[in-house]
A and B are shown apart, each in its own frame.
Chain A
């Protein structure tokens, strides 16, 4: 009855051309290509590996492991962080290009987990050194829990604005040296509050 019924499906202008703000378009791209840093320190690393395996297959979410922090958007801290390691975590985070996100996977990275009470060498929470966007509980979390955490992070990435007013990520300004390994100050780092 109308002219456009004569056209092939999917060939219409409004099906091929989409209008969006540049910011939203960039956020859409970021959200669907969260390359993550292959950063497995302990037990959770195995579950991270399984999440990349054939059954859970996080590749389908656009998440591809990267060996170098320069190419990564997302750091999944999978496992225990010791005081000796903490300074290196901070270095790796600093090497990642903006915008960057951090997921803390598992109880050890969240709070020290089973080692928080008795251990003298384990950092009680990686958020003392790098700003964490999403915390995933579990010891270790299942791959489904990791994917759920990534979904929560994607919500956050979608709101990220490259050009306009951006949501500032909390930024640690001082004291990132490891107390024992890095030779720096032993004062816990100061976390700047996220600006609304």
Chain B
């Protein structure tokens, strides 16, 4: 049924959601035009958190930009660090004289922290989505588990949220003593806890029916609108950069990619809100497995920090003073989809241009399409299922 048929007299009400709204995950403003309970048009208004991060990149040295990448996506700061550092390393690799080889232990730690952060990021995503549709308890369970990941990161680098841990050429510090045991212990109890979490919310009929068939995105649409990450995979597209364009250690790990396949049963459709939600939960499981695999590959620490096997950081201070000229685009798989940095270097110690491509931006681009014709109450479900983090959109 078209929206015109549903709204015969054409009377519409304009409703502002945001910029201050508890379900818009920050300061996203959505102008919704509705007829009664049905959404006619939906226009996202961005820029309330535009912090000119890309411009700052043109003002400061190459390594000093790493803390700002934390603020691009603070829910998965490790992955954001990693994306930028990989891009700079790729730039340095364009000239054989300045190429840098990250030590094996450093690569392992990178994958470890990236996957742990993916777990904590997806916990926020699924918890906040459950909270948006009215279930507060699962959110508290998710936050309790996130605290444990934060504990590990705090011991590792001293910060709970914005880590600045992955650096160009490796990671800032080596793993602390007993880190492997603590991470393994966390993963063990985390898997038990996720069974409880799923019993609480994922298998709940109320929650499933609330999300089933809401705002389905077909595979063709998802590709056409440039969705990335779990939003793309929720629509049934089998694409994951960790496996298909593997970087770092991921090539050795054989990443298994979950895709959406109408998890909500006969009431659902492929690519609906429930599919996107379940794909995130399955990715958490996969991340747990990847963490375990990486811990097996972890070589023992060496005395020297830049030891090619047991070291954690290659020395890059000389290369970064005079990097090769040129431009490079490097894509990585962050929890919210592809996070890529496009760097232009003019051969000086300050970047000429830093461009950041993020997953939430393209997810916000499809809002006006999927929200047309749904109920007003489902708008928060859709926002939650796409897992928007606003500074990723505004930067």
Contact = CB atoms under 8 A, between A and B. Distances in A.
Contacts of B50: 82, 84, 121
Contacts, number: 97
Interface stretch (A8-16, A25-33, A112-120, A127-135): A112-120
A39 interface: yes
B51 A50 contact: no
B124 interface: yes
Contact of B48 (A84, A92, A139): A84
A40 B19 contact: no
A88 B21 CA distance: 12
B52 A46 contact: no
B49 A80 contact: yes
A90 to B, nearest CB: 12
B22 A42 contact: no
A30 to B, nearest CB: 23
B143 interface: yes
Contact of B52 (A39, A47, A50, A121): A121
Contacts of A142: 160
Contacts of A109: none
B54 to A, nearest CB: 11
B94 to A, nearest CB: 27
A92 B48 CA distance: 15
B220 interface: no
A53 B144 CA distance: 7
Contacts of B147: 50, 53-55
B212 to A, nearest CB: 26
A115 B391 CA distance: 13
B71 A118 contact: no
A191 interface: no
A114 B60 CA distance: 12
B102 interface: no
Interface in B17-31: 19-22, 26-27
B75 interface: yes
B49 A82 contact: yes
B292 to A, nearest CB: 25
B143 A50 contact: yes
Contact of A38 (B22, B55, B60, B161): B22
A79 to B, nearest CB: 8
Given A50-B160, A53-B140, 7 more contacts: A38-B22, A42-B71, A50-B150, A53-B143, A114-B68, A118-B52, A119-B56
Interface of A: 38-43, 45-47, 49-50, 53-55, 65, 67, 79-80, 82, 84-85, 88, 92, 114-115, 118-122, 139-140, 142
19 contacts: A42-B71, A43-B74, A43-B161, A46-B74, A50-B146, A53-B140, A80-B51, A82-B49, A82-B50, A85-B19, A88-B20, A115-B56, A118-B52, A118-B56, A119-B56, A120-B55, A121-B50, A122-B52, A142-B160
